[in-house]
Amino acid sequence: MSVYQTYYRESIENPEQFWAEQARKITWYKFPETILSRTRAGFYRWYEDGLLNTCFLAIDQHVAAGCGDRVALIYDSPVTYQKKSYTYSELLEHVSTLAGAMQAKGIVRGDRVVIYMPMIPEAVFAMLACARIGAVHSVVFGGFAPHELAIRIDDAKPRMIISASCGIEIDKTIEYKPLLDEAIEQAIFKPEFTVIVQREMATATLQEGRDIAYTDFIRNAQPAECVPVRAIDPLYILYTSGTTGKPKGILRDHGGHAVALQFSLEYLYQIQPGEVFWAASDVGWVVGHSYIVYGPLMRGCTTILYEGKPVRTPDAGAFWRVIDEHKVNVMFTAPTAMRAIKKEDDDGKNLQRYDISSLRRLFLAGERCDVATYYWASNLLGIPVIDHWWQTESGWPMVAPVFGTDQPAIIPGSAGKPVPGFDIRTLNENGDPLIANQEGFIAIKLPLPPGCLPTLYKDDARFVSSYLEHFPGYYLTGDGGYLDENNYLFIMGRVDDVINVAGHRLSTGEMEEMVSGHKAVAECAVIGMADELRGQVPLAFVVLKDGISISEDEMEKDLTQLIRKNIGAVACFKNAVLVKRLPKTRSGKILRRIMRNITDGEHYVVPSTIDDPYILTEIHDALKRRALGIAFKTITLS
Ligand code: COA
Ligand code: AMP
């Protein structure tokens, strides 16, 4: 039996013993006596009576072990021409001072703190400072517009918000403070105070009595010690797109998170303490939480905080420069980043300028990795390129083709096999198990392993309705796909209203709510349209109210502005098509899937329940008119 088979079987047949053993690999103030238990609501939780501190694991333990001089964090910012390294001792000083300042302002265990920051070291300090004193952080991606930030403020009710005067997007300075002010204005809940990192590229105007400059905030602060917290206490809330305008507050607890990340770095990413790990993502996404901040630091690695893009900062050799300069051993990014490099430098000329021999493996996730991108990257780099699958809810990989000392067994197009702890099944719509190669809903048999969401923040009912009630005894992932005869998982895409734009998870349901709010719109459907660079981009089909006259171009312009203003430029909303009607079933359900099939030029089957098949011809015609470059396929009538 391979190492993988041994571990996998043990994790499924005897999860308590398996995860008790893994828990021994981290340091606890009190090792848990209860490994797996259930709440009154019936939800599973891990290590209920354990006591620990995540910041201690990420920093203090390494300093105490004599590794204080090891580099913990490298800030590399091609957009500001800055580079800075922090040893574990220096990181401790920054984090404990900030934590002390927070305590002095009355922030205590359980208080929420929103972090709305660009990719600067203070963002990492802030996350770790919260963890140190048991405060619960909620990082909001800096590319989100005020409306999105306001929704999160109203849900998390933070006593404090930490932000910066600006972020830099290639050569544009994005002033964050006016966005923050607008969000606080829009939110019903008001934070007590904000802390603003003043960056030299743009200085923010501070509001007397509410805003404090970061440097003033930490001046004279006494360093705070780590506060022991319960394993089941929340470390953070990370909002992610669901099917409606209200994002879901994914909760992460301390104990399961620490054990799961340690396990993943040891057995999946296979990185050793002292080595360099680089996740080229953003602290606003789960990848940033798990693999820029917490995971690599807990493992005693050097982690890289990169404030740049794969291209144009300054060129398509940007990633190779970082790998060479910081001697990166293992890297993680989204396939879209590879596609961006490929688009500008298909034959990899830029690579010749750098020595990337330190790099052992490149991991890709966040969206589907198309086979062409997989081959391009692996041929160019000559190392294993590893697609793996997970989501904000899981917090760490659920499926991967690597484990321990086994050789990576990669099948291009598949994200690999279930990771130990994840009992992955494919089910039909009645919840019956499917046989190999049959496509259906991807679900996970409960209990989920440590590290996965225990529930949604203050919303047990939505946790049940979103994930648990479809198939009793299973967690519904929201993805569709199939397992082959060797248990390799092939992801075919989301089965709900979530789309993935350049690795950013967004809700078309939320966009529909906004588009419907336009005064000329009677009804609409927003779908994800295939895009060569970004994987998907949104496309709106709009039915106008009777008697309204507005041109298609004008409508597209209006909606583009609307989505930019309310969600953010990151949604890349640029396309709208006017149609007379939307295809629906006789019971009135909009047939979004068929619209997606038509738009992506895929073969599709017209369901017998369709109200009027002729509408599909109108959809074809409308798309042709907009010249979206679609190669239409034939229709089959069922
Ligand atoms: N703050 C403010 N604005 C942001 C932002 C941020 N953090 N991130 C993106 N934006 C804005 C951009 O400025 C751009 O605005 P514009 O339309 O006014 O030009 C818009 O959002 C789209 O940004 P982006 O998708 O980054 O487009 P791009 O053309 O600049 O770059 C890629 C394309 C593929 C290079 C880029 O999307 C990329 O690096 N993707 C990888 C994503 C990733 O790592 N995802 C994490 C999942 S693991
Ligand atoms: P997020 O929660 O933002 O990490 O997005 C998670 C979603 O991204 C998943 O549910 C999938 O739809 C998609 N995704 C992530 N990784 C992969 C992958 N390797 N292959 C296919 N889809 C992926």
Last-in-domain residue among 464, 494, 524: 494
* Interatomic CA distance for residues 216 and 233, integer angstroms: 31
Atom of ligand 2 nearest to the CA of 389: 19
Note down the domain range covering 502.
498-637
**Cα–ligand 2 centroid distance for 553 (angstroms):** 33
Average pLDDT in the 49-65 region?
A: 98
What values do phi and psi take at 309, rounded to 5? Answer: -125, 170
Read off the CATH number of the domain in which 591 is found. 3.30.300.30
- Give the closest ligand to the alpha carbon of residue 500: 2
Q: What is the DSSP letter of 400?
A: E
**Cα–ligand 2 centroid distance for 390 (angstroms):** 6
Element (H, E) at 195: strand 193-197
Atom of ligand 1 nearest to the CA of 279: 48
pLDDT band at 408 (very low <50, low <70, confident <90, very high): confident
Q: In which region does residue 578 sit, left (phi positive, over 0), alpha (psi from -120 to 50) or beta (all else)? A: beta
Choosing from 491, 494, 498, 508 the residue with most ligand 2 atoms within 8 A of its CB, the one to mutate for a pocket test is 491
Atom of ligand 1 nearest to the CA of 334: 48
- The residues near 514 (Cβ < 8 Å, ≥ 6 apart) are 245, 562, 563, 566, 567
432, part of any domain: yes
Atom of ligand 1 nearest to the CA of 365: 48
Query: Tokens at residue 377, please?
Result: 């990257």
Q: What is the DSSP letter of 292?
A: I
Residues 590 and 612 in one domain: yes
- Asked whether residue 630 carries a pLDDT value surpassing 80, the answer given is no
Residues 509 and 455 in one domain: no
Residues 447 and 481 in one domain: yes
302, part of any domain: no
What's the pLDDT score for residue 634? Answer: 52
Choosing from 369, 391, 392, 467 the residue with most ligand 2 atoms within 8 A of its CB, the one to mutate for a pocket test is 391
Q: With H, G, I as helix, E, B as strand and everything else as coil, classify residue 439.
A: coil
- Asked whether residue 637 carries a pLDDT value surpassing 80, the answer given is no
What values do phi and psi take at 214, rounded to 5? Answer: -55, -45
612, part of any domain: yes
15, part of any domain: no
Residues 596 and 478 in one domain: no
Q: Are strands 193-197 and 211-213 parallel, antiparallel or unpaired?
A: parallel
**Cα–ligand 2 centroid distance for 370 (angstroms):** 13
**Cα–ligand 1 centroid distance for 503 (angstroms):** 10
Atom 15, ligand 2: which residue's CA is nearest?
366
153, part of any domain: no
| Residue 507 · residue 466 · CB < 8 Å | no
Digit-coded pLDDT (tens) for 476-511: 999 999 999 999 999 999 999 899 999 999 999 999
Pocket of ligand 2 contains residue 281 by CB under 6 Å: no
- Give the closest ligand to the alpha carbon of residue 179: 1
* Interatomic CA distance for residues 527 and 595, integer angstroms: 8
Digit-coded pLDDT (tens) for 448-472: 999 999 999 999 999 999 999 999 9
| Residue 456 · residue 441 · CB < 8 Å | no
Residues 546 and 623 in one domain: yes
Pocket of ligand 2 contains residue 491 by CB under 6 Å: yes
% of the chain surpassing 70 pLDDT? 98
Average pLDDT in the 97-123 region?
A: 98
Query: Tokens at residue 522, please?
Result: 């009677």
Residues 481 and 521 in one domain: no
Task: Give per-residue burial for 405-422: e unless 16+ CB within 10 Å, then b.
Answer: eeeeebeeebbbbbbbbb
Q: Who has greater pLDDT, 626 or 305? A: 305
Q: How many CB atoms lie within 10 A of CB 137?
A: 26
Atom of ligand 1 nearest to the CA of 533: 34
Digit-coded pLDDT (tens) for 585-595: 998 999 998 99
Choosing from 499, 570, 575 the residue with most ligand 1 atoms within 8 A of its CB, the one to mutate for a pocket test is 570
572, part of any domain: yes
Q: With H, G, I as helix, E, B as strand and everything else as coil, classify residue 117.
A: coil
Average pLDDT in the 50-64 region?
A: 98
| Residue 628 · residue 602 · CB < 8 Å | no
Residues 422 and 542 in one domain: no
Query: Tokens at residue 108, please?
Result: 């205590």
* Interatomic CA distance for residues 167 and 170, integer angstroms: 10
Choosing from 77, 140, 141, 169 the residue with most ligand 1 atoms within 8 A of its CB, the one to mutate for a pocket test is 169
pLDDT band at 628 (very low <50, low <70, confident <90, very high): low
Atom of ligand 2 nearest to the CA of 493: 12
518, part of any domain: yes
- Asked whether residue 607 carries a pLDDT value surpassing 90, the answer given is no
**Cα–ligand 1 centroid distance for 170 (angstroms):** 9
**Cα–ligand 2 centroid distance for 494 (angstroms):** 8
CA of 271: how far to CAs of 93, 232, 280, 319, 482, in Å?
A: 26, 27, 16, 19, 30
- Give the closest ligand to the alpha carbon of residue 479: 2
pLDDT band at 242 (very low <50, low <70, confident <90, very high): confident
- Asked whether residue 439 carries a pLDDT value surpassing 90, the answer given is yes
At how many degrees (to 10) do helices 508-516 and 552-566 cross?
120
**Cα–ligand 2 centroid distance for 197 (angstroms):** 32
Residues 471 and 505 in one domain: no
Q: Are strands 604-606 and 635-637 parallel, antiparallel or unpaired?
A: parallel
Choosing from 176, 333, 336 the residue with most ligand 1 atoms within 8 A of its CB, the one to mutate for a pocket test is 336
Residues 504 and 633 in one domain: yes
Query: Tokens at residue 78, please?
Result: 């091609």
Give the per-residue SS3 of 54-90: HHHHHHHHHHHHHHCCCEEEEEEECCCCEEEEEEHHH
Pocket of ligand 2 contains residue 415 by CB under 6 Å: yes
Atom of ligand 2 nearest to the CA of 399: 19
471, part of any domain: yes
Read off the CATH number of the domain in which 449 is found. 2.30.38.10
Digit-coded pLDDT (tens) for 167-192: 999 999 999 999 999 999 999 999 99
Atom of ligand 2 nearest to the CA of 240: 2
What values do phi and psi take at 6, rounded to 5? Answer: -60, -50
Residues 482 and 455 in one domain: yes
What's the pLDDT score for residue 632? Answer: 55
Name the burial class of residue 365, with classes exposed (0-12), middle (13-18) and buried (19+) by CB atoms within 10 angstroms of its CB.
buried
| Residue 204 · residue 33 · CB < 8 Å | no
* Mean model confidence pLDDT for the chain: 96
Structural domains of the chain, count:
2
Last-in-domain residue among 477, 494, 511: 494
pLDDT band at 605 (very low <50, low <70, confident <90, very high): confident
Atom 11, ligand 2: which residue's CA is nearest?
367
- From 474, 415, 411, 464, select the one nearest 442 (Cα to Cα): 474
Atom of ligand 1 nearest to the CA of 174: 2
* Interatomic CA distance for residues 315 and 345, integer angstroms: 9
Q: With H, G, I as helix, E, B as strand and everything else as coil, classify residue 263.
A: helix
Longest dimension (CA), the chain: 75
- Give the closest ligand to the alpha carbon of residue 306: 1
Digit-coded pLDDT (tens) for 512-564: 999 999 999 999 999 999 999 999 999 999 999 999 989 999 999 999 999 99
- Asked whether residue 159 carries a pLDDT value surpassing 60, the answer given is yes
Residues 604 and 516 in one domain: yes
- Asked whether residue 313 carries a pLDDT value surpassing 90, the answer given is yes
Average pLDDT in the 263-280 region?
A: 98
* Interatomic CA distance for residues 197 and 210, integer angstroms: 14
Residues 574 and 454 in one domain: no
* R_g (Cα) of the chain, nearest Å: 24
Atom of ligand 1 nearest to the CA of 282: 46
Last-in-domain residue among 433, 465, 494: 494
Query: Tokens at residue 257, please?
Result: 């998170």
- The residues near 519 (Cβ < 8 Å, ≥ 6 apart) are none
Atom 1, ligand 1: which residue's CA is nearest?
143
- Around ligand 1, the residues with Cβ closer than 6 Å are 142-143, 167, 169, 174, 280-282, 285, 287, 309-311, 333-334, 336-337, 340, 366, 502-504, 533, 569-570, 572
Lowest mean pLDDT among 324-328, 329-333, 334-338, 366-370: 366-370
Atom of ligand 2 nearest to the CA of 369: 20
Atom of ligand 2 nearest to the CA of 364: 19
pTM exceeds 0.85 = yes
**Cα–ligand 2 centroid distance for 480 (angstroms):** 11
What's the pLDDT score for residue 407? Answer: 86
What's the pLDDT score for residue 636? Answer: 57
Choosing from 291, 368, 456, 534 the residue with most ligand 2 atoms within 8 A of its CB, the one to mutate for a pocket test is 368
* Interatomic CA distance for residues 99 and 115, integer angstroms: 14
Name the burial class of residue 80, with classes exposed (0-12), middle (13-18) and buried (19+) by CB atoms within 10 angstroms of its CB.
middle
